[in-house]
Amino acid sequence: MSVCCFFGHRNAPDSIKTLLEKEIENLIISGIADSFYVGNQGNFDLMVYKCLKELSKKYPNIRFKV
């Protein structure tokens, strides 16, 4: 089990969502991370949470906690 933590700026632009999702999926596919901790303060954290929630449908073995 490998863990990856995300926390970011409250004003992160929505334009990074696609890149963020691709990078998270890359972490999962490459076996770098299967567990994720996510902050809960701003837009970046919310984007990460939404990406992980969506990716968990494709990769049910991942875990994440806010």
Number of structural domains (the chain) is 1
Degrees (nearest 5) of the Cα angle 42, 48, 54?
135
Distance CA 10, CA 39 (A): 10
Total-model pTM: 0.91
Q: What is the pLDDT of residues 9-25, one digit of tens each?
A: 788 999 999 999 999 99
Write out pLDDT tens, residues 36-65: 999 998 999 999 999 999 999 999 999 999
DSSP 15: G
Domain range for 53? 3-65
